[in-house]
Chains A and B, each alone.
Chain A
Amino acid sequence: MSTALFHPALYASLALCALGLAWRMSAWFRVRVGPDACTVTPWQRMVAALRGVAVALFGRRLFRVLGALVLDALLLRRLYANAKLRWLGHQLILVGFTLLLLMHALAALVSEKLFQGYQPTLEPYLFLRNLFGVMVLVGVGLLWFGRRRERSGFAQARAFLGAAFVALLGFVLVSGFLLEAHKIASPRAFYRMTEQYAGTTDAEQLKPLRALWASEFGVAFADLQQPIAADLVERGRELQRDACASCHAKPASAFVSYPLARLLAPVTGLMDAAGADTWLWYLHVFACLLGLASLPFTRFFHVLAAPISLLVDAAAPQRALSAQPYAIEARASQRALALDACVRCGICDERCSVALLARYLGNPDLLPSHKLIATGALAKGRLLRSGEEEHALRAAEGAFLCTDCGRCTSRCPVGLDLEDLWQAGRGDLAVAGLAPPAQWVQARPALAWAESLEAVPRQHGLAAPDAAFAPLSADRRSFSRCVQCQTCTNVCPVVAHSTDAEHGIDLTPQKVMNLLRLGLSDLALGSRMVWDCASCYQCQESCPEGVRVADIIYELRALAVRRLGSVRSRRQAA
């Protein structure tokens, strides 16, 4: 069997992987997310990172970092807390793949050095290899199952590369099992071995051994007479003990490959003839090398980025407790790292407080996992290319409809500071001229917006917004309880602090409710109140009659983006 191609391929893959990793990791210091990140150079960021590493290693945070390494990076504690099934899948893959890598792929460097007389065909390695392989396959299956079950209603963010890589992983495993199975069943391999190690090709001499290997080691001799005589087998066993046992255990414990070998028995002859041992080996090894080379370029880069992110998070000053602002040099790198560390698990999407709205609007970019990609695309300049205008607008809508509730950050299994990322992303959008709605809406008075809307003919004269889209504002029962007591306005901190005649609040919460009740919602959409609302919910919690004031105001924002956005582009077009 010729493996001449192996080494060039291995070195090429290693080089590609190394280059890729270097490129991707350099991005952690190059990519600038947020206008404030543009104030520091990559060099400053690198210095800050090194200093951070030093502080982490020699400072008081070492234990926290070690704790994070064990609990978060290895045991995936946060994932366990959020999604048990996915945690199981991940752990199976992580453990299974790592052990396969060490024991099998890197056998020359690890197993042979650690274990005297290591042979992949001996027990327990034969069994373990199958076990690890099955762990990975089961893990992949679990993740796939979990993904299907917990869809957010949108295609998963950048699913293709992920799926391709999962497929590659599966292929590596399957080809490995096939290769092993074929080797078990292959008479050609048997003869090669006997020739190589016993130095004989004499059929008569090999007869007992053949009988034993056929009956107990699963070799599929095409020319073997059945039934096999028991004494022949016994003789074979003796031969086996002397000649083969030091390297070969019975393969039955390879609980995947052995049954597979039995399954393949009818076609083993054909496969041998076709040189299956060679091409299967190539397939398996080249798939591995392909995986190695492509790892930095797929989202499985997270296997590196996520643990690093967790460690950095542990080493960084704690968000809530830190009195001093976290230096932008470090934060800029952490944001760039976050773009890579996101594992697209979608837990944030499930918890997102505007998930429902995303579905109503048909805009996935409201959801954190999608928004993260858009944020990255914007930071890398891809979102501003021609042809991406639509996506850019969608991304802006998503970014600015975020309520900053912080649920995504609190649930992120890899500890990303998503709130910081969103804030930075909004800054980038504003710099790119994709101003937040609050900004472009408030550039004109509410009445001017209402007049623009009036110019657009409508089928329904009642200013009833789409009931499915804005159910509270569309339902007159939302306001029919109002007794005009002004409590909502009296408890509103935004109105209380609005003492500036020019930029102050134009409509109080109560006036907004009244405009809706009067069927004049168009007059409210562009109002400062709708856009300056702090979402503190005082109004809603204090309302003696249970009107959902804050929910309605939030709904109006979404409605405004949609309706005012339409007349805005119309105006721009005109």
Chain B
Amino acid sequence: MQTQVLIIGGGVTGTALARDLALRGVDCILVEKGDLNAGASGRNHGLLHSGARYVAGDRDAAMECRAEGEILKRVAAQAIEDTGGYFVAVQGDDERYIADFPGYCERSGIDARRVDVATARALEPALSEQAIAVFEVPDAAIDPFRLSLESMAHARSLGARLLRRSRVVGFEREGSRIRAVRVQSLGGAPELRIEAEQVVNAAGAWARDVALLAGAPLAMTYSKGTLLVTHERLARRVVNRLRRPSNADIMMPGGTVSIVGTTSTPVAALDDIHPTTAEADLIVEEAACMLPALAATRYIRAYAGVRPLVGAAGGADARAVSRGFALFDHEDHGLANFATITGGKLTSCRLMAERAADLVCRRLGVTQACVTATTPLPVAAECAWTEPGRSPRVWMRAHGLEDTLLCECEMVPASAVDAIYAALRAAGDTPTLTDIGLRSRVGKGACQGAFCAPRAVAHLYNRGDFQARRGLDEIVAFFGERWRGQHAVLWGEQLAQAELMEALHCGLFGEELREEESP
């Protein structure tokens, strides 16, 4: 295989880079060891920062957020719910910071407007009675899955290629140049050799491992962040704690749910990242100061991501390390056609891609300028199913006799599963239930797959897409994936739900026994 640019990593940056390059007419291949947004890109708040969170500590980051936020609201409106955000201080919070906050915001050009506490509580009844100050800022919610899926879909329509479940296992170096990259497919297909003129490492948290493989050591640390998903949406707006960034500061609207977090724990390794019960407790207890309903509400899921932090080492507080991004040209490592783009935030992904693309284009001698700041991201029908609350509308508008709801919690119809399946097939992929889950709301609701997974599998058998015992394997794999996020929040109603799931899938179906059919 040959290409001009090989991009390693299918997160928000990698996909944005693929699109950026494709828009400049550069041929590229994106290899991703798992699925799109499998790392931090899919395990964050989904907050399109106004920048107000960083006004005190990192003014550059704040201004960058403001500018990029405005751009994304223009070009990727379909992935954004422009909710606005509140910064809320409660009794006991640092008065000084509250007093300084409007000044900080003004200095960074962020429009922060003081809101009367009573008014704010009328508009967001979930806010604590203990609230003492509220500011409104232009925060918004962004769906990172939709962003990546549509960026990639757009890139592919312009000729870019995507290889999912393909891990980079080696670089063939020739002097200062990488001649080819060896890629191993997880499906067991023979190893691929991809010759590329330029290689961009956009592997996020895994960027250090990739760079090391290419012979370029990077100083990076990892910080794990855990978030909780509630059963219902508790507020319309983004709600931030008005204080210096700390634990459990933000409650995001995630369509039909709310997402609360995060934590920040230094981790050394990237394997086996999962939320813990202690983190869940910490978030509930801390966030409930600002939003008391969080102490009693039902949580359906937790997830943990790893922030790649560039430049720091040792046990320093990860929040003190810049959340800004870093672009390495690796020329000091003696590499002329390798670059790493990592760090940063969801909000700045487009800018990160632009900077990386600029470097690559300069090296390739491509003079085309970046157009992603002005070119709207085309809406791709098969990518729209991640949007919460959308599928019930689509289904209610019209549905045929065969178009039943496979997922009741989030009301995902068979036609959505069919569209996603068809799009993946068209790209030569073998779609799994987990792939469908990533591209839709299947399994994201209250039942966490207990009912929708068997329905989806039955549907795929009926269509002839699944054969032999594949359905069982898919269900087990899907539950494995869902459970990683569930076990930390299993108390109250959700424990009853999980118990029912086990009663059904173990008690009745005996999936844990994997009893072969021969007696």
Please report A residues at the B interface, Cβ cutoff 8 Å: 445-447, 450, 459-462, 464, 476, 479-486, 501, 506-507, 510-511, 514-515, 517-520, 523, 545
Contacts and interface: CB of A to CB of B under 8 A. Distances in A.
B435 interface: no
Instruction: Report, nearest first, the 4 A-B pairs whose CB atoms are least far apart.
Output: A461-B236, A518-B256, A476-B232, A484-B447
Given A482-B446, A518-B389, A511 B405 contact: yes
Contacts of A510: 408
B489 to A, nearest CB: 13
Nearest to B399: A506
Contact of A511 (B232, B235, B408): B408
Contacts of B236: 460-462
B496 A480 contact: no
B436 interface: no
24 contacts: A446-B396, A447-B396, A450-B393, A460-B123, A460-B236, A461-B237, A476-B231, A476-B297, A480-B232, A480-B298, A483-B447, A484-B409, A484-B451, A486-B451, A507-B396, A514-B445, A515-B392, A517-B231, A517-B232, A518-B232, A518-B256, A520-B389, A523-B396, A545-B496
Nearest to B499: A483
Contact of A462 (B235, B397, B405, B410): B235
Contact of A518 (B298, B411, B493): B411
B265 interface: no
Contacts of B405: 511
Contacts of A460: 123, 236
Contact of A480 (B256, B388, B401, B493): B493
A514 B451 contact: no
A234 B349 CA distance: 123
A518 B257 CA distance: 7
Interface string B403-420: 001001111000000000
Nearest to B293: A476
A483 B396 contact: no
B369 interface: no
A519 B233 contact: yes
A518 B410 contact: yes
A483 B256 CA distance: 17
A496 B232 CA distance: 30
Interface of B: 83, 123, 125, 231-237, 256, 297-298, 388-389, 392-393, 396-397, 401, 405, 408-411, 445-447, 450-451, 493, 496-497, 500
Contacts of A445: 396
B451 A523 contact: no
Contacts, number: 81
A506 B396 contact: yes
A507 B404 CA distance: 11
A510 B237 CA distance: 28
A21 B104 CA distance: 84
A484 B446 contact: yes
Contacts of A485: 451, 500
A523 B393 CA distance: 8
- Which residue of A460, A461, A481, A507 has the most chain B CB atoms within 10 A of its CB atom? A461
B228 to A, nearest CB: 15
B297 A480 contact: yes
Contacts of A483: 446-447, 496-497, 500
B103 to A, nearest CB: 29
A518 B254 CA distance: 11
B54 to A, nearest CB: 26
Nearest to A464: B125
Given A462-B236, A480-B493, A519-B232, A447 B409 contact: no
Which interface residue of B396, B409, B493, B497 has the most chain A CB atoms within 10 A? Answer: B396
B385 to A, nearest CB: 15
Contacts of A482: 446
A474 to B, nearest CB: 10
A446 B231 CA distance: 24
Nearest to A476: B232
A511 B235 CA distance: 22
B397 to A, nearest CB: 6
Contacts of A486: 408, 451
A519 B256 contact: yes
Nearest to B122: A459
Contacts of B496: 481, 483, 545
Contacts of A480: 231-232, 297-298, 493
A459 B388 contact: no
Contact of B392 (A459, A501, A518, A545): A518
Contacts of B237: 461
Contacts of B125: 464
B67 to A, nearest CB: 26
A459 B123 contact: yes
Contacts of B393: 447, 450, 523
B134 to A, nearest CB: 16
A238 to B, nearest CB: 90
Given A476-B297, A518-B411, A481 B493 contact: yes
**Max chain B CB contacts within 10 Å: which of A464, A476, A479?**
A476
Nearest to B405: A511
Contacts of A481: 493, 496
Nearest to A462: B236
B411 A514 contact: yes
A482 B235 CA distance: 21
Given A446-B396, A519-B233, A514 B298 contact: no
Given A447-B397, A476-B297, A523-B392, 5 more contacts: A480-B231, A481-B493, A484-B409, A484-B446, A519-B389
Contacts of B445: 484, 514
Nearest to B300: A480
A480 B493 CA distance: 7
A492 B174 CA distance: 72
A291 B405 CA distance: 70
Nearest to A459: B123
A431 to B, nearest CB: 32
Contacts of A501: 401
A479 B493 CA distance: 10
A501 B399 CA distance: 11
A476 B126 CA distance: 12
A230 B133 CA distance: 94
Nearest to B411: A514
A459 B237 CA distance: 12
B256 A520 contact: yes
Nearest to B498: A483
A486 B233 CA distance: 22
Interface centre among B410, B446, B450 (most CB of A within 10 A): B446
B80 to A, nearest CB: 14
Contacts of A519: 232-233, 256, 389
Nearest to B448: A484
B486 to A, nearest CB: 14
A531 to B, nearest CB: 15
B221 to A, nearest CB: 38
Contacts of A514: 408-409, 411, 445
Contacts of A484: 408-409, 445-447, 450-451, 497
Contact of A461 (B83, B231, B256, B410): B83
B447 to A, nearest CB: 4
B502 to A, nearest CB: 12
B126 to A, nearest CB: 9
Contacts of A459: 123
A277 B10 CA distance: 109
Contacts of A511: 405, 408, 411
Nearest to A517: B232
Nearest to A484: B447
A381 B442 CA distance: 56
A518 B396 contact: no
A518 B388 contact: yes
A171 B231 CA distance: 67
A540 to B, nearest CB: 18
A396 B267 CA distance: 66
A248 B232 CA distance: 87
Contacts of A447: 393, 396-397
